[in-house]
Amino acid sequence: MTTQVPGTLADRFRGQVIRPGDPDYEEARHVYNAMIDARPHVVIRCAGTDDVVAAVRYATETGRAVAVRGGGHSVPGFGTADDAVVVDLSVMQAVDVDPAARTASAGGGTTWGRFNDATAASGQATTGGIISTTGIGGLTLGGGIGYLSRGAGLSCDNLVAAEVVTADGRVVTADEDENADLFWALRGGGGNFGVVTRFTYRLHPVDQIYGGPVFFELADAPAVLTFYREFIREAPREYGGFPAFQIAPPLPFVPEARVGEPFVAVVSCYNGSAEEGERIIAGLREVAAPVAEHVGPMPYPALNSAFDPLVPPGLQHYWKAAFVTELTDEAIAAHVEHGARVPVVNSTMHIYPINGAVHDVAPDATAFGHRDAHFATVIAGMWPDPADNEANTRWVRDYHAAIAPHSQAGGYTNFASADDAGKVAENYGANYERLREVKRAWDPGNLFRLNQNIAP
């Protein structure tokens, strides 16, 4: 197979076509996870949907896989691959907000930071990620867990329409009325069915939130996690906080002598009045004395971007995930043991609450079917030095093995690593066979296979 890009391809693109040997190729071939060292056939920075159509058709003509890149945060590095056609959507970040209709439409490469800034102008938002540099596309297609999940549902629950470039190069709309089978699959089924070039979301009133992190001593971790388990069952849906194990970074509110030490923390986000938010967080302080905290009213985009400095491009990434029905005493003991061993400041463990509005949606209403889980756990290994790969991946694996007996089968695909590819059927559970049917209808040749792949 030739590796030369025909001039006719470059001629029909409005966006940048980057080939091996071009000055921008080294930068363009990389994604956030520095463990991924792929050399794609070409990187196409698409300027619009027409560029995406041309890229998909070229990949089909040459028999190459399509690697779709939005924010580039995919832990397995699905936004690049050897000899692949990389469809880079990062230029496509236009956001159109209709405040009266409470909807926003955004290009497929939009980041949550850009989206949130656009919707915040009208005091609205939808469920997005925890890191603002994450792309809306990958997060939404995998489900979309975030600060607002308990009150507003998952990102995919708020998707009302999608513009999709299909494997045969057509541009279609998917919503409840048009191509409803595709729309169902897009809401949790990942990038298996096409390239989504535009997402339209339902928005919710979100102005000032009350929240931020509170750090506690490791010795208080059992009490903090037990309190959180009981509290979150009946907590107001407007509260979307989560516990974490985290090494304290050098921040102004952390005592200098404690920087670099591991702590258990609770990161709070209350979408309501400061008075009620403070009342909720005051309950945490009654469980144990905080070592450090940075809590108060702030715009939602400020909280969404607060932890961005801990996740810069170029770190090594290895993650594992689990859905949890009940945070048992045994599970808490496993978290206390392994969370305390968090190896570097970038690495962390989060337990996201996914009850509330997430449970309002039936398990078969979208491809994301884990509607009986109350928590989604992620063990996120992130570190700067490749020499530490073995030690850090071992921490993630040992931690995951310890909580696995207390977790559901399968896990959240957005948090999976490359070695989780064999768990796709478990990840989708009862929805897996229907997803295969949709895959056969829309991508029978499996052109879109660089993902947590659902085989036709």
- pTM of the predicted model, to two decimals? 0.96
CATH code where residue 115 lies? 3.30.465.10
- The residue range of the domain holding 335 is 208-422
- Residue that is last in its domain, among 88, 105, 132: 88
Last residue within a domain, chosen from 88, 107, 135: 88
Mean pLDDT of all residues in 84-110: 99
Does one domain contain both 353 and 329?
A: yes
At 35-82, the pLDDT tens digits run 999 999 999 999 999 999 999 999 999 999 999 999 999 999 999 999
Closest CA relative to residue 139, chosen from 47, 65, 66, 71: 71
Mean pLDDT of 125-152: 98
Q: Do 70 and 175 belong to one domain?
A: no
Residues 320 and 438 in one domain: no
**Average pLDDT of the segment spanning 100-108:** 99
Q: What is the pLDDT of residue 1?
A: 36
Q: What is the pLDDT of residues 338-367, one digit of tens each?
A: 999 999 999 999 999 999 999 999 999 999
11 in any annotated domain: yes
The number of domains in the chain is 3
Identify whether 456 is part of a domain.
Answer: no
User: CA-to-CA distance for 54 and 46, rounded, in angstroms?
Assistant: 9
Distance CA(422)–CA(76), nearest Å, equals 13
CATH code assigned at 255 = 3.40.462.20
Whether residues 183 and 239 share a domain: the answer is no
C-alpha 452/C-alpha 190 separation (Å) is 7
**Residue 452 forms part of a structural domain:** no
Specify whether 161 is located in the same domain as 296: no
Q: Please give the Cα distance from 414 to 329 (Å, whole number).
A: 27
Rounded CA-CA distance 30/38 in Å is 7
Does residue 402 share a domain with residue 290? Answer: yes
